Amino acid sequence: AQSVTQLGSHVSVSEGALVLLRCNYSSSVPPYLFWYVQYPNQGLQLLLKYTSAATLVKGINGFEAEFKKSETSFHLTKPSAHMSDAAEYFCAVTYGGATNKLIFGTGTLLAVQP
Amino acid sequence: GAVVSQHPSWVICKSGTSVKIECRSLDFQATTMFWYRQFPKQSLMLMATSNEGSKATYEQGVEKDKFLINHASLTLSTLTVTSAHPEDSSFYICSAAGQEGEQYFGPGTRLTVT
C-alpha cells in the first residue's frame, strides 16, 4: 500500500537556521509529491509539487524540495528560517490524475525560536 | 489563481439539527472535490470524494446518510451534517482537484455541536 512517512512530529530551529523536514514515501509506481503548510485554524496551502519534471522543485516562501528516487524521499528545506515559517507541514503523495486521492503524512510542527 | 472558499468559516448548532457547509472553487472548474475532517493536532482524514454530477464516494467508516454530499456544479460542492451530535464537532476542510494531482484547499469550517 502507498504511504507517506514524516520523520519528526516536532522540529524546532532557530531563526536564520536551516529548515529540514523529512518525508519518505512508499510506491511501486512514479508518484506525484506535494508539500503543504497549515497555519492554525486555516486550510492547507500548497508549497510545492513534484510531478516527474525537475527533481529539485522550488516553491513559495523560499522553500524547496528534492525528489530522490533511490532514497524514496522528498525532503523539504529552506536555507534560513523565519518566524513566520512556524506552522504545521504536511507531505502528501498521489499516484497520478486529478481525481486520485492524496495520501497525507502525519505532519510536522515547525517551531522557530528567536 | 486556484482559490477555494468555504462557508461558513465557523458554526455552532444544537444537537439534532443539520448544518450545511459550502465549498466553492472561485477561479477554476473542479470536476472533483474532496471533503476532509481534521481533529486537533492530527492530519487530515478523507471523508469522501465528490464528483460533479454523480454520487460521492465515501471512505470506509464514513456514514453516507449522516454526511450528505452534493456536487451540483463544477464550482460548488456541499456537505450537510445531518442530525448533528457533539461527536461531530470538528474542523471540516474541502479541496478541489487541480490538473496535476494537486489539491487546492478551502480555509476550513469549524463546527461545534452543543
C-alpha cell at A84: 513566520
A78-84 long-range CB contacts below 8 Å, 24 or more apart?
A78/A18, A78/A19, A79/A18, A80/A16, A80/A17, A80/A18, A81/A13, A81/A14, A81/A15, A81/A16, A81/A17, A81/A18, A81/A19, A81/A110, A81/A112, A82/A15, A82/A112, A83/A15, A83/A112, A83/A114
Percent of chain A with pLDDT over 90: 73
CA nearest to B108, candidates A41, A35, A102: A41
Rounded distance between C-alpha atoms, residue B27 and residue A85, angstroms:
27
Percent of chain A with pLDDT over 70: 95
- Confidence at residue B12, expressed as pLDDT on a 0 to 100 scale: 97
Pick left, alpha or beta for residue B86 (phi over 0 → left; psi -120 to 50 → alpha; otherwise beta): alpha
State the distance between the two ends of chain B, measured CA to CA, in whole angstroms: 37
The answer to whether the CB of A19 falls within 8 A of the CB of A44 is: no
Query: Which of A17-21, A35-39, A100-104 bottoms out in mean pLDDT, i.e. has the lowest?
Result: A100-104
Query: Which of A43-47, A73-77, A95-99, B23-27 bottoms out in mean pLDDT, i.e. has the lowest?
Result: A95-99
Q: Is the dihedral of CA A77, A78, A79, A83 positive or negative?
A: negative
Residue keyed to cell 509529491 = A33
- Confidence at residue B56, expressed as pLDDT on a 0 to 100 scale: 92
- Confidence at residue B30, expressed as pLDDT on a 0 to 100 scale: 85
Residue in chain A closest to B48 (alpha carbons) equals A101
- Confidence at residue B102, expressed as pLDDT on a 0 to 100 scale: 85
pLDDT band at A97 (very low <50, low <70, confident <90, very high): low
C-alpha cell at A114: 528567536
Q: Which residues contact A45 (CB under 8 A, 6 or more apart)?
A: A36, A37, A38, A39, A60, B105
- Confidence at residue B42, expressed as pLDDT on a 0 to 100 scale: 86
> Distance, in angstroms, between A9 CA and closest chain B CA?
10
Residue in chain A closest to B52 (alpha carbons) equals A99
Average confidence (pLDDT) per 10 residues, chain B, 114 residues: 91 97 91 92 90 90 95 91 96 90 92 97
Rounded to 10 degrees, what is the CA torsion of B81, B83, B86, B91? 0
Partner-chain contact A101 B34, CB within 8 Å: yes
At B96, is the secondary structure helix, strand, or coil? strand
- Confidence at residue B1, expressed as pLDDT on a 0 to 100 scale: 64
Rounded distance between C-alpha atoms, residue B30 and residue B28, angstroms:
6
Partner-chain contact A98 B99, CB within 8 Å: yes
- Interchain CB contact of A111 with B (< 8 Å): no
- Confidence at residue A98, expressed as pLDDT on a 0 to 100 scale: 55
Partner-chain contact A90 B43, CB within 8 Å: yes
- Confidence at residue A99, expressed as pLDDT on a 0 to 100 scale: 64
CA B16, distance to chain mean position in Å, is 19
Strands A64-68 vs B4-7: parallel, antiparallel or unpaired: unpaired
What integer is the mean pLDDT of A30-51? Answer: 91
pLDDT band at A96 (very low <50, low <70, confident <90, very high): low
The answer to whether the CB of B109 falls within 8 A of the CB of B22 is: no
